[in-house]
Structure 1
Amino acid sequence: MTAVEKPAAKPLPPEFFNDPGDDRHGWEAALRADGPVHRIDYPPGAEAYIVTDHDTTLKAFNDPRLSKRVEAAPAWFQEQLRDASPVLIRNMITADPPDHTRLRKLVSRAFTARRMELLRPRIQQITDELIDDFPESGEVDLMGFAYSLPMRVISEFLRVPDEDRPQVQQDVVMLSEAPYPDEERNRLLRVASDKIERYLLDLLAARRGDLGDDLVSDLIRAADEDDVFEESELVSTLVLLIIAGHKTTANLIGNGTQALLRQPDQLELLRADPSLAPSAVEEFLRLDSPVFRGTLRIATEDMELGGQHIPKESFVHLMLGSANRDPRVFENPDRLDIGRTGNKHFAFGHGAHFCAGAPLSRVEGSVVFPTMLRRLPGLRLAVAPEDLDWVYDNSTSRGLRTLPVAYDARLPR
């Protein structure tokens, strides 16, 4: 095969992108063993490639030829994005420097580790309040809790009124799904996009006359100070923060809990030593990454990556979940080890696009897991592991639709 000859698209099983269950890890291991980069048929009919190993993923993160800009994508894909979810394409996740640098500045000062640590007492209070509503013993679907906690935290951080939160959550969950080659589905995405845009424009207008100690006020101050941001960029940034601020953390809680309950020795270790919570959170992020596939990356020129020729305008999917189980980097990569050190996972990305909300997610995780184990003795799965209901929403997420758990008692705070 010559350097510019197209390799055959991998005949990946249909479940590869539409079933994020346990079988995914086996498929990814087989692909890693067969080479770091593979041509696939996703999006259908597009020129697209997946990157499966840790080393090549790291190189791809740092390669300026892989663009995050919507304008770098093929024209048909640009049209699809703009038609389905225009509110989502004016933020830092769909930009390259210098625009990315400018847009990231809007949020970087707000999501410092120090400021997130100051939220710990309130996060603890919300966690306990939600667990107070659990039955005194028996069963509960933990994903209700997993979504409620980060949504309440990010809503309070944004100072979104209580009565508005259910509709805001419904709209942003819809928008977190990728556009489909389906007119009716894209119509629903556009409806959600228009609704949340109108809501946030009104919120920004109201907040300008009532600035406070909240993230919306911080964004307004930063925007007014620099005078280089459009209102649509503020709205798009807020949508991104709401999506990233609750869905990924919900997946962290769900994925981490099911992994912990399937490995009793690690559960008992964390129960006995809650100080292991920070390293446990990093291990949960690695083992079952809440984001299994990196967001949009497009080749801006013909290039080579991992020994594979990649034509201009190709989609390049960084398979973060696969890289996070690369045995050349992680010892016993398929085993949960909450004391693992040097955990170089990519769950939050890497480099310029490293997740700005990572400090908040880490604090939430370090509060939630010890609290659940302390207050819910006998915590265990209420279904067989093979019956867990993993969600596919055509996006980059890996998470559970439901997580039925049982426990012997609900202890007081």
Structure 2
Amino acid sequence: MSLVTLQRIRSAGEQLAGIVRRTPLEHSRGLGEQCGSEIYLKCENLQRTGSFKLRGAYVRLLGLSAEQREAGVVAASAGNHAQGVALAASLLGTRSTVFMPEQAPLPKVAATQSYGAEVRLRGAVLEETLGAAREHAERTGAEFIHPFDHEDIIAGQATVGMEILEQLPEVRTIVVAAGGGGLVGGIAAAVKAQRPEVRVIAVQAEQAAAWPGSLAAGRPVRLTGTQTMADGIAVAEPGPVTYAHVSELVDDVVTVSEEALSQALLLCLERAKLMVEPAGGAAVAGLLEHPERLVGPSAAVLSGGNIDPLLLLQVIRHGMTSAGRYLSLRVRLPDQPGALAALLAELGRLAANVVDIEHSRISGALGLGEVDVEISLETRGPEHREHVVAQLEATGFTVVAKR
């Protein structure tokens, strides 16, 4: 299978001029200190629609014939591809229908509608949604726009790589989140055609990592299931087009834990002042878990910033817990005046900040005259977290459970 050429990528760049934003490449001192390497962040989370997806979608739609555009386009997506196709279709005067899972976050549904698409909620999981979209395409003649497995999509996403080389000519390593492989395959195509010595590293969530097995088998291999907070890269099987690009051009594929994904999101928010979704911060998670793979200067692509506010709250808490900055305890106290006050006074002395507290007398594990206190604390890090628990126990408090 032929790969996307540098000429095609440059053409895509010309097609996207005035349509997409040339996103900034920001130096990150904090990440550099943690990784022991000079780090820059390519901020596709600041792109129109909040992710890189508009690039490929617009190039793909621009390549349709007049008859195809007249028939309209259809896509299936839980979020970012939906918004990219919707806006691209509106800009080109084409009717778009986007199928989304029934439980898709309301903000993503509303955003897709605001870009002009007709949204239809179908299926409990994305595979069912994809089937509904393909059936619609066959029945109506609308052109199905695949989220990653098409040369025009790859050429559009490759323009991210072109921009990185222009913004940071001395770059030695580029780290990119990988789901279906359209973004990392495109970036690798752009980079290797001009600077073959630059390393391109793909990052996958451990619980949705289709690429390691596929590359080992020499062909796309389907996962039996995916379960990760990084739903934007939870792709069960690469496509043949993206497989050809990734297998030939990408230097390395690494996986990251759910804890690293949540810590990456928290770090981007606190240190870089940038909002990312879990998939959008996967490249940063790759930096944190695999700093030994880097040859600096390195660029990490923040691929998207569309995150549901409720999920954001959960991920921040998960990230704080993973970083040792959040502690939940169940402490057993005597049911007598002053016992709770004594516990709170000790926590104050230990400089642990109380986030919330619940006092319960109803439990089969409690003895007569005992109460359980469930308390959530903000701590300064892993050492402080362990110090708080140890000091409570040394003072005579009974810590029944901690997490």
Please report the TM-score for the alignment, with normalisation by the length of structure 2: 0.28
Answer 1 or 2: which has greater helix percent: 1
- Which has the greater radius of gyration? 2
- Larger relative contact order (Cα-Cα within 8 Å, sequence gap ≥ 6): 1
